[in-house]
Structure 1
Amino acid sequence: MVDIPAWAWGATIALILALFVFDLLVAVRRPHAVHIREATFWSVFYIGVALLFGLAVWVLGGSKAGTEYFSGWIVEKSLSVDNLFVFVIIMARFAVPAEFQQKALLFGIAAALVLRAALIAVGAAAINLFSFTFLIFGLILIWTAVQLIRHRNEQPDVEDTFLVRGARKILPVSQDFHGGRMLAHEDGHRVMTPLVLVFVAIGSTDVLFALDSIPAVFGVTKDPFLVFTANAFALLGLRALYFLIEGLLERLVFLSIGLSVILAFIGVKLILQFLHEDVTKSVPEIPTPLSLGVILVILLFTTAASLVRVHRHPEEKAQAGSIRKRREKRPEEEPAAR
C-alpha cells in the first residue's frame, strides 16, 4: 500500500469536485435533452480524464499502483453499466422529462459518491483491524453473484425503497416538475416535485450497488486512495454514459451473467488472498494483472455474445436484474397517484 501524502489527497478531491461542479453547471444552467453527439463528447472526455489520471498514478506511484487503479476503474465502470439499467427504469417510472434527466442523475450520482466514500473508509478500516475482512468480502461477492443470476430477469422495485417511502411522508408530491425545481408551492402549500423522489431513488438504489462494487474493487487493490479514485472517476462519467448507451442497454442480454461471473471471480480471489495471508502460504494468490485480463475477457465475451444473441432473436431485451426478491405490495400499500 502506497503512503499517499495529504497534498495528493487534497489535490485529487479538489479535481473531482471541480469536475463535478463543471458537470453540474453544464447540466443545470441550460436544461435540455441530451443528444448522441453531446453524450459522445462528454463520455470520451471523462474516459480520457480517468485514463490520464491512471497514467499519472502509473508514473508517480509505479506500475503496480497503475495496474491496480486501471483494474479497479474497469471493475467499477463495468458494474456502473448495471446502474444505468436502473436509472432508465427510474426515469421511466417517474416520467422525468428529457430536459430534467441530467439534473436528477447528477444529484443522485453526488449522493452515491458521498455514500461510497464513507463505505470505502469503513472498508479500509475493517481491513486494517480484522484479518478476516477479505473472507467476508469474498463471501458477499459470491452471494451477490448468485442472487444476480437468480433474479436476472426481474425488474428492481425502484419506487418501494425505504428512503423513497419515507420521502413521500415528508411532504405531498406534486404531479408537476415546476421547471426542474425540487420544491414548489401549490395552492399555498409546500410540495415536493417528482425530482426529489427520483433523486432519492437513485441514491438509495445505489446502496445496493455499493454493497457489491466496494468489496469488488477492494478485491483488486487494498489502497483506499486507489479504491476511492477508481470509484470517483467511474461515477463522474456516468451522466454522459447514460445518454450515450441508453438505447443500447436493452441489447446487452447477457450483461447480468457476465457481471455475476466477474463478482464471483473477485470473490474467489479475495477468499484465496485471505487463506494465503492468514492460513497458509501454500494457497496461491491471483495477481492483479491476471485479474485485469480475466475481467476484460469476460466483458468482451459478454458484449459480443449479447449482440449475436439479439441479432438472432431481436425480440429479446435485457432486464436490469435485482439482487433481492421483489416485495409484493398489499393493496393498502399502493402509492397514491402523483
Structure 2
Amino acid sequence: MHAQAHKFSVAPMMDWTDRHCRAFHRILTRHALLYTEMVTAAAVLHGDRARLLARAEDETPVALQLGGSDPAALAQAAVIGEDFGYDEINLNVGCPSDRVQEGRFGACLMAEPQLVADCVAAMQSRVRVPVTVKCRIGIDEQDSEADFNRFIETVAAAGCRTFAVHARKAWLDGLSPKQNREVPPLDYARVYRLKAARPDLTIIINGGIADLDEAQAHLAHVDGVMLGRAAYQTPFILAEVDRRFFGSDAPAVARAQAIEALIPHIERHLASGGRLNNVVRHILGLYHGQPHARAFRRHLSENAVKEGAGVNVLLEALKIAEPARPIIAAAE
C-alpha cells in the first residue's frame, strides 16, 4: 500500500460501505483508502466469508475492518482477510452500538487498552499487512486526556503505528449510535495534541468533517483525514480527492462518466442474481446540489427496487439528471 494512502480515506460505515459502495467510490477516486463495513471476527471464521469479504480486484487500496476482542480469533480472521487481498486490517474500537457492546468489541474496548494491545499484537504476528486501530477520544466517564493518552500509549507499545481517531467521545449508555455521531462535542484539538506528542505515529482525524476544505485544513496538524457521511451523502466530492490530496494530474471523472463506468459492475451483479438497488442505493447523492438531483433520486428510489429492474432504470435516471447529454444504450 502506498505510504500516502492514509492522507485521505472514506470511513468504514455499517450498512453503507459494502463492496458496491466501494466499487462506486473507487471510480471517483483511485487513491483514497477505502474501508469495508465492520465485519466481526466470528463472522469471518464461521459465516459466509466469500460474501462478507468479497472485493473487486481493482479496489486497492482497501482495508478490512474487524470487530472482536479475542486475540486468537482476530488473528485468524486477519490472516483470512490478508488472503482475500486486503491491504490493511483495522480493529474497530469506536462503534458504540448495544449489539457491539454485548459482543465485547467496539468502543467499549477503550476501557481495556491492554486487551486491545493484545489483539493488535496477535494480528500483527500473523499478517504482513499493517494492523491499525480506529477509536474514539474517550468513553463515558473515562474521557480525560490522560485516559486517551494511556490508551494510545498502551496500544502503540504493542506495535500499532496508525490510529484513526473519531474526535468525539462515545456514551455507551443513553445514546444511540446515531446520537453518538452527533451529540458528544467534537474535540479536534485533542487529536492534534496527540500527533504533536507522538510524531512517530500516523494519526488520522475523523468526525464531522463536511468537505474537502475542512479536510485540507486538518492536514496542517495530522497525517490524514477520514470522511464518513459527507463522502457517502455527497459522493461527487471524491472526484477531486486525487488531484487535491495525492497530486494526480489525471482529469477528474464527471458524474455521467462515473455512472457509465459503474455499469459493468452492475451487470455482473445482476447476472449473479443480485438486485439493481443493492448497487444504486449508494449513488443517490451523486447529483447533490445539481438542478435535477431530486428527480434523479426519486426515479432510482422508486424503480430500482422493482423486481427485474435492470441497467435501463439507471440510464433513465441519468437522462433525467443530464437531459442534454447523449446516453449510452443498455446492453441487451
Q: TM-score, with normalisation over the residues of structure 2?
A: 0.20
Larger strand percent: 2
Larger helix percent: 1
Point out which structure has higher relative CO (alpha carbons under 8 A, 6+ apart). 1
Q: TM-score, with normalisation over the residues of structure 1?
A: 0.20
